[in-house]
Amino acid sequence: MKVLHAAAEVFPLIKTGGLADVVGALPEALMAQGADVRLVLPGLPAIAKGVEGQRVVCELGALFGAGRVTLRLGRLAHNGVAAYVIDAPYLYQRPGNPYLALDGSEWPDNLQRFGLLGWVAAHLAAGELDPDWTPDVLHAHDWHAAMACAYAACHPGTRAATVFTVHNLAYQGLFDEGDFHLLGLPSRLMVPVGLEFHGQLSFMKAGLKYAGRITTVSPTYAHEIATDAFGCGLDGVIRARGADVSGILNGVDGDVWNPAADRLTAAPYSAGSLDGKALCKAALQRELGLHVDAGAPLFCVVSRLTTQKGLDLLLDALPALLDFPAAGGPQLAVLGNGDPALEAAFAQAAALHPGRVAVRLAYDEALAHRMIAGADAMLVPSRFEPCGLTQLYALRYGTVPVVRQVGGLADTVVGATQASVLDDLATGFSFGPATPAALAQALRQAVAAHGQPALWRQLMRRGMAQNFSWEAAAVQYMALYKGATAASGMKAHV
């Protein structure tokens, strides 16, 4: 089976969140299941430079405002996966991240930049651009690539099945409806039952309306987005798709995230030999300027600093955490950037509590490894969480998660109760309401458990025993692809 993944980012070349980790790991896992997998990516500076051995597939000419567009094919160095690069310097060769300028504003031509990504993906799926390779499945990821599903649905000759994965419904790719003509799609699509969304053009709806199958990155999130509370105004569209929507839990790349072989941490360790974790904790405390105290429970956050991640709840609960009785007093380490108000509030907390609160306002992949290895507990108090990868990395590293019971967090962390501890099922701590009080209660439980070394080791080892490999996810995706290709022969174009 030939599968083409369309996405805006891929680890390790460019990453703003978990999407890049998925696109970096899932294709290799699918190849292990026998699939022939390729990627199609925008020619952003890091991608244009990082994809090796590129050769020209075809010259596309002037498109989407760019005077020259060339399609090239090369391979990712870290896993050998074939990748098409859309070389359009006018649209992609610029500083900033894939979506935002250096000042944090959205690029004004994002409609054209990601419209081109979807257009190229759909034309590859139609067998038009590469005479040597035509996919059976076009798999588009998040709003950036979603328009591929609309282009494919409008072309009666496209035989490839389409799959669309929602990584985060809150980011929808909304644009002025007056710019719809720039996409070159039939005007009949710009209606409420098509791409129109409250007077705007929605890329996200292109995937939700026109993909043959829709997936989310966890089973619970697939159910949640069909409700008013989590549907971001699109829950009716999602409910209308019925059984076409399913959830497949993300995995963890065991080569990248492995405490026994992680060269980015101070010392290796495993579930059978945890001494190295104590060395990682001491090294992290020294690096961040925290009091070096083995008995102090060290909580960490590795996240974008947004209210979605519930980090305002953590700020409100922080005084209670720091007042909890514990040897040396609980500590907090935060790594991430985002909302300026949250950045300022965490920086102020670090200034007010030297030696007990440390904050690094940056994206730093290497420091993330050291924090996950060195901390005792990982905080993920999200208001909603499609999957969450941080808690999966934490479990693998014996860093006990404290999470809100939503989305993928509910699917992956078993909260410690009297029954779950007795049955040796508990892997962390969870709470329900999105309130500081509920989070504070979960933190209180975690601090108390940390004071019981035997119980804490039990939680660590049970977490490290969990298997969230990409192999399991790849098996489910292959089954989904087979069902989608069987159904694609009966589809009607729009």
Which pLDDT does position 158 carry in this prediction?
86
Average pLDDT (58-85) is: 97
Using the predicted structure, report yes or no on whether residue 49 has a pLDDT greater than 90.
Answer: yes
Question: Can you read off the two tokens belonging to residue 335?
Answer: 């790594």
Give phi and psi for 329, each to the nearest 5. 85, 140
Q: Which tens digit of pLDDT belongs to each residue from 148-172?
A: 999 999 998 888 999 999 999 999 9
pLDDT top residue among 490 and 237: 237
**pLDDT band for position 194 (50/70/90)?**
very high
Cα separation, 195 vs 197, in Å, equals 6
Q: Which tens digit of pLDDT belongs to each residue from 448-458?
A: 999 999 999 99
Q: Tokens 């034309």: give the residue.
A: 123
Which pLDDT does position 310 carry in this prediction?
97
**pLDDT band for position 57 (50/70/90)?**
very high
Which pLDDT does position 200 carry in this prediction?
98
**pLDDT band for position 120 (50/70/90)?**
very high
Q: Tokens 């651009």: give the residue.
A: 129
Share of residues in the chain with pLDDT > 90 (%): 93
Q: Is 398 helix (H, G, I), strand (E, B) or coil?
A: coil
Using the predicted structure, report yes or no on whether residue 472 has a pLDDT greater than 90.
Answer: yes
Average pLDDT (356-376) is: 97
**pLDDT band for position 492 (50/70/90)?**
low
> Environment class of residue 229 by beta-carbon count within 10 Å: exposed (0-12), middle (13-18) or buried (19+)?
exposed
Which pLDDT does position 493 carry in this prediction?
56
Cα separation, 157 vs 94, in Å, equals 35
Which pLDDT does position 305 carry in this prediction?
96
Which pLDDT does position 156 carry in this prediction?
85
Average pLDDT (267-290) is: 97
Q: How far apart are the first and last CA of the chain?
A: 26
Q: Are strands 36-42 and 2-6 parallel, antiparallel or unpaired?
A: parallel
Question: In whole numbers, what is the pLDDT of the chain averaged over residues?
Answer: 96
Average pLDDT (241-268) is: 95
Average pLDDT (363-384) is: 97
Which pLDDT does position 494 carry in this prediction?
64
Residue ranges and CATH numbers for the domains of the chain are 2-251+471-488 (3.40.50.2000), 275-466 (3.40.50.2000)
Q: Which tens digit of pLDDT belongs to each residue from 97-118?
A: 999 998 889 999 999 999 999 9
Cα separation, 16 vs 21, in Å, equals 9
Average pLDDT (463-476) is: 95
Using the predicted structure, report yes or no on whether residue 490 has a pLDDT greater than 70.
Answer: no
Average pLDDT (17-39) is: 95
Which pLDDT does position 78 carry in this prediction?
87
Average pLDDT (23-47) is: 97
Which pLDDT does position 338 carry in this prediction?
92
Q: Which tens digit of pLDDT belongs to each residue from 285-303?
A: 999 999 999 999 999 999 9
Which pLDDT does position 335 carry in this prediction?
98
Question: Can you read off the two tokens belonging to residue 419?
Answer: 């029954």
Average pLDDT (264-273) is: 96
Residues 95, 102, 168, 392: what is their CA dihedral angle, to the nearest 10 degrees?
A: 80
Which pLDDT does position 491 carry in this prediction?
58
Q: Cα separations (Å) of 64 from 116, 180, 401?
A: 6, 12, 45
Which pLDDT does position 453 carry in this prediction?
95
Cα separation, 36 vs 33, in Å, equals 9
